[in-house]
């Protein structure tokens, strides 16, 4: 179901409107559809929030926009830079909540890890975000606004100069629990008139909301990452509680449907956090290999990143290497993710932000 257009009693935040939705909003005011393309370029390619500077728009339209609309992104409350070049921004939302966004520079690519919710309701036991509780979904403007603000902070003024080559929905929250807003943000990220990212360079990570994953295959054609973390239901029930509702067999069947529906066949990335003495034995590696054998799969082994109050430890490097070797011998493409930004708590599983009213919870619907 499409997100209803914003009511015009309050200024409309254009930052989260896709080109189609923006054309619909402008059309209701008697404007031609091509004005939406012009606006999208000014907002997302050039990073402008001042309508007066959008010089190819008629003066009367610029004045109407200034009176009825805004371009408002989350504000950067603080920034931390890791010794390895990773940057973590604490982004303050209009209601005072904060989410975290991470920029990871690498040879040949620069990845931005963005958040989709304030906190998270899924309670994965190895994740710091789960400890924060859940407050609310981010709007489409707050999601894509993290990219908009990061480009600004990195000094980019035009798409051709932008440093961000990849965007991953691996920050705070479960993206598929905020389906409509995430899909709107995805549309802007791959729109050639907005950010123009390749569909293969935009990744949605999910813990396994099966009905929403089935909806996603008809709504977006982007890369998929699945937080698996266990080779059997008994252990995954403990580590990723949503598995009790959507067990592994159902999740992998949905993954197969997603791959089969894509225009360009690609591997699904399965994320597997390495927990000492919990899920890192050679026996479990063999079970994981058998589980994933029917799928076009790639496995990312993620060394566990500790956070205050956790009872888990990271698997020793030798155990991670043994696990990787077993998977590779069974024909699975397997890499061990290099830990980035752990000295500023920016690594996978460490993002926490600032969540107001942490007791507020809701049932996760898909």
Is residue 64 located within the same domain as residue 109? no
Domain housing 56: 12-70
- Asked if 86 and 125 sit in the same domain, the reply is yes
Do 37 and 107 share a domain, yes or no? no
Q: Are residues 186 and 326 in the same domain?
A: yes
The CATH number assigned to the domain holding 56 equals 1.10.150.530
Return the H-helix or E-strand segment holding 80.
strand 75-81
Contact 318, 280 (CB under 8 A): no
User: Which residues lie closer than 8 Å to 361 by C-beta, 6 or more apart?
Assistant: 121, 133, 134
CATH classification of the domain holding 117? 3.20.20.70
Residue 19 shares a structural domain with residue 107:
no
Question: How far apart are alpha carbons 340 and 284 in whole angstroms?
Answer: 26
Residues of the chain with pLDDT under 70: 1-9, 156-162, 263-264, 339-366
Q: Are residues 57 and 203 in the same domain?
A: no
Task: Give yes or no: residues 57 and 82 share one domain.
Answer: no
Helices (H), the chain: 19-27, 34-40, 59-68, 128-131, 140-153, 179-190, 210-219, 233-239, 248-261, 282-292, 317-329
pLDDT at 130: 73
Which pTM value belongs to this model?
Answer: 0.90
Is residue 149 in a domain? yes
352, part of any domain: no
pLDDT per position as a tens digit, 148-200: 999 999 986 555 556 899 999 999 999 999 999 999 999 999 999 999 999 99
**Same domain membership, residue 266 and residue 177:** yes
Asked whether residue 325 is assigned to any structural domain, the reply reads yes
pLDDT of residue 162: 63
Residue of 31, 100, 174, 271 with catalytic role: 100
Which of 305, 306, 218 is CA-nearest to residue 263?
A: 218
Domain check: are 111 and 61 in the same one?
no
Alpha helices in 121-269 (DSSP H): 128-131, 140-153, 179-190, 210-219, 233-239, 248-261
Domain-located, residue 282? yes
pLDDT digit string (tens) for 194-243? 999 999 999 999 999 999 999 999 999 999 999 999 999 999 999 999 99
- 36 plus 156 within the same structural domain: no
Q: Is residue 357 part of a domain?
A: no
Burial class of 343 by CB neighbour count within 10 A (0 to 12, 13 to 18, 19+): middle
162, 272: one domain:
yes
Q: Is residue 351 part of a domain?
A: no
Number of domains in the chain: 2
What is the Cα Rg of the chain in Å?
21
Q: Which pLDDT does position 306 carry in this prediction? A: 82
pLDDT of residue 359: 43
Instruction: Note whether residue 364 is domain-resident.
Output: no
Let me know if residue 355 belongs to a domain: no
Regarding whether 79 and 179 lie in a shared domain, the answer is yes
Q: 238 an active-site residue? A: no
| Contact yes or no for 311/346 (Cβ under 8 A) | no
Annotated catalytic residue, options 113, 127, 255, 348: 348
Q: Is 98 a catalytic residue?
A: no
């Amino acid at each position: 179901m499409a997100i209803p257009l914003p009511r015009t009693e309050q200024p409309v935040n254009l930052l989260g409107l896709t080109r189609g939705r923006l054309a619909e909003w402008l059309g209701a005011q008697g404007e031609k559809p091509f004005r939406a393309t012009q606006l999208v370029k000014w907002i997302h390619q050039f990073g402008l929030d001042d309508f007066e500077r959008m010089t190819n728009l008629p003066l009367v339209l610029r004045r109407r926009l200034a009176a009825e609309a805004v371009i408002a992104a989350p504000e950067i409350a603080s920034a931390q830079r890791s010794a390895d070049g990773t940057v973590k921004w604490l982004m303050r939302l209009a209601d005072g909540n904060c989410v975290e966004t991470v920029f990871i520079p690498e040879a040949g690519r620069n990845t931005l890890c963005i958040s989709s919710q304030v906190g998270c309701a899924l309670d994965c036991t190895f994740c710091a975000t789960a400890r924060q509780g859940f407050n609310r979904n981010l709007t489409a403007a707050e999601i894509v606004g993290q990219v908009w603000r990061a480009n600004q902070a990195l000094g980019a003024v035009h798409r051709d100069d932008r440093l961000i080559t990849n965007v991953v929905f691996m920050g705070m929250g479960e993206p598929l629990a905020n389906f409509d807003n995430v899909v709107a943000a995805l549309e802007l990220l791959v729109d050639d008139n907005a950010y123009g990212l390749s569909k293969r360079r935009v990744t949605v990570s999910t813990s396994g909301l099966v009905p929403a994953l089935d909806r996603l295959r008809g709504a977006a054609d982007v890369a998929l990452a699945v937080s698996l973390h266990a080779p059997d239901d008994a252990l995954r029930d403990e580590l990723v509680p949503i598995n009790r509702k959507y067990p592994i067999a159902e999740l992998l069947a949905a993954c197969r449907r997603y791959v089969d529906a894509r225009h360009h066949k690609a591997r699904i990335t399965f994320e597997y956090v390495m927990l000492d003495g919990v899920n890192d034995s050679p026996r479990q590696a063999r079970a994981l290999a058998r589980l994933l054998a029917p799928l076009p799969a790639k496995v990312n082994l993620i060394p566990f990143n500790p956070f205050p109050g956790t009872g888990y430890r990271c698997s020793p490097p030798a155990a991670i290497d043994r696990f990787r070797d077993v998977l590779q011998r069974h024909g699975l493409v397997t890499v061990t993710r290099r830990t980035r930004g752990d000295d500023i708590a920016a690594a996978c599983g460490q993002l926490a932000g600032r969540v107001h009213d942490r007791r507020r919870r809701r049932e996760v619907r898909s």
